[in-house]
Amino acid sequence: MNVESKIQNPESKIIYNYLLSGGDLLAVSHFSPDGDAIGSLIAFSGMLDQLGVEHLTAIADVLPEKYSFLPGFDRIRKFDIQDSTFKIPCNRLVILDAGALPRIGSARSCIGKGTKVLNIDHHYSGPCYGDINIITHEASATAEILYDLCEEFSIEITEQIAYGLFVGILTDTGRFRFSNTSSKALAICADLISKGVNPGWVTENVYYNLQFENVQALARALSTIECHLDGLICIVSLDREKDVNDTEGFVEYASSITGVALAAFIREIEDKVYKISLRSRCSVDVAEVAAKFGGGGHLKAAGFRYLGAKEDLIKNLVDELAWNITAHKITRGSKFIERTALQPDDEHIEF
């Protein structure tokens, strides 16, 4: 990767030439993959098929089973440095939906001196780490950027591409709820439905397909619920458990309580190693909070990892969140959301 000659949002010909330039190509997304990571990767893989570009797709993490209904899901491999299928270093590495390079985990080992990295993303935080960067902050999801590329390159939207893009936008907008639910995002989804996506089937698989063990874990997590600072901060946590693999959405229970401004879900992923999900419903930027703990993310949703005792973590986190709430003069009864829809330039949030 040559840092000096980085290209930022180039004209489409440069991207097209990159994709068709030959040599091996690996497309990856971030670990702890969410719907946009998986949906975008599947869609991008379908796009490369349409362009006749041979490639591999991988994620350096366990893939959530609930996305296995997506056409093309079984083509995503688990990245493994020992697996000789992967060329290390590779010629071309395309990174989707990862705001910072460490987010792709061990797949970083594919990057050598000669590797050309294409970074396609909508996150705010993080440097433009690719040789070529397509960064569109206004996009509701990385999937939205890929939809635009399909149009630019006249790529026919196959069933695989359509489902991948739809899942990316659906999940990153929180089921069309967050402030990134733009008219453009909805227009794209309308078009994808006209191309054969059944939204009911998607939501059934993504949101109404919970494993019994995971719902039991949710019950245990909710039993830990604690509120601080006059109910403005809410925290739930879950100790390490072997059968639990899907805790996506647990933090929403904490953040959906009336009056809660900041919420956190703390999950022990290894002994004394915690993954923290932060959500903001107010003007506090949780990406800044996460950054203080070595993580990152976005205004309204961010995260970090923590090594140490849970009691210390909770104390430090509550102190930090409380400091921010006070600095932003947020009190019980503060209004978090306006009746009028945000216009495209008012605020951007992505996941």
| Residue numbers at the binding site for ligand 5GP (CB under 6 A) | 32, 99-100, 123, 277, 295-298, 301-305, 351
* Piece in contact with Mn ion (CB under 5 A), picked from 4-12, 36-44, 296-304, 308-316: 36-44
Q: Determine contact, residues 209/201, Cβ cutoff 8 Å.
A: no
- Six-digit token pair at 235? 């925290």
Question: Would you say 143 or 235 has its CB closer to Mn ion?
Answer: 143
In 3D space, the residue among 190, 179, 263 whose CA is nearest the CA of residue 221 turns out to be 263
Whole-Å CA distances, 271 to 61, 242, 312: 18, 12, 15
8 Å CB contact between 58 and 78: yes
Asked whether position 36 contacts Mn ion by CB under 5 A, the answer is: yes
Exactly one of 19, 35, 41, 97 binds Mn ion (CB under 5 A); which one? 97
Instruction: Report what 118 binds from ligand 5GP, Mn ion, none; CB cut-off 5-8 Å by kind.
Output: none
Nearer to ligand 5GP, 92 or 123 (CB): 123
Nearer to ligand 5GP, 44 or 86 (CB): 44
Decide whether 39 or 303 has the Cβ nearer to ligand 5GP.
303
Question: Closest distance between Mn ion and the C-beta of residue 43, in Å?
Answer: 12
CB-wise, 118 or 287, nearer to ligand 5GP? 287
- Decide which of ligand 5GP, Mn ion, none touches 303; Cβ closer than 5 to 8 Å per partner kind: ligand 5GP
Show contacts with Mn ion in window 49-78 (CB under 5 A): none
Say if strands 296-297 and 301-307 run parallel, antiparallel, or are unpaired: antiparallel
Q: What is the CA radius of gyration of the chain?
A: 20
**197 close to 232: Cβ distance less than 8 angstroms:** no
Least separation in angstroms between CB 166 and ligand 5GP: 18
Find out whether 190 and 147 touch, Cβ atoms under 8 Å.
Answer: no
Picked from ligand 5GP, Mn ion, none, the partner binding residue 36 (CB below 5 to 8 A depending on kind) is Mn ion
- Among 119, 153, 97, CA closest to 1: 119
Do residues 56 and 27 lie in contact, with contact meaning Cβ atoms separated by under 8 Å? yes
Query: Which listed option, ligand 5GP, Mn ion, none, makes contact with residue 144 (CB within 5 to 8 Å by class)?
Result: none
DSSP letter, residue 12: H
With CB under 5 to 8 Å by kind, the binding choice for 285 among ligand 5GP, Mn ion, none is none
Q: What is the DSSP annotation of 312-337?
A: HHHHHHHHHHHHHHHHTT--TT----
Q: Nearest approach, Cβ of 296 to ligand 5GP (angstroms)?
A: 3
Residue with Cβ nearer ligand 5GP (45 or 125): 125
By a kind-dependent CB cut-off of 5 to 8 A, residue 172 interacts, out of ligand 5GP, Mn ion, none, with Mn ion
Within 132-191, which residues bind Mn ion (CB under 5 A)?
141-142, 172
Q: Is the peptide bond before 89 cis (omega within 30 degrees of 0)?
A: yes
Return the closest-CA partner of residue 58 out of 35, 83, 89: 83
Q: Would you say 139 and 146 are in contact if contact means Cβ atoms under 8 Å apart? A: no
Residue 348's φ and ψ, nearest 5 degrees, are: -120, 135
Shortest gap between Cβ of 122 and Mn ion (angstroms)?
Answer: 6
> Which of 26, 37 has the CB closer to Mn ion?
37
Question: Binding partner of residue 302 among ligand 5GP, Mn ion, none, CB under 5 to 8 Å per kind?
Answer: ligand 5GP
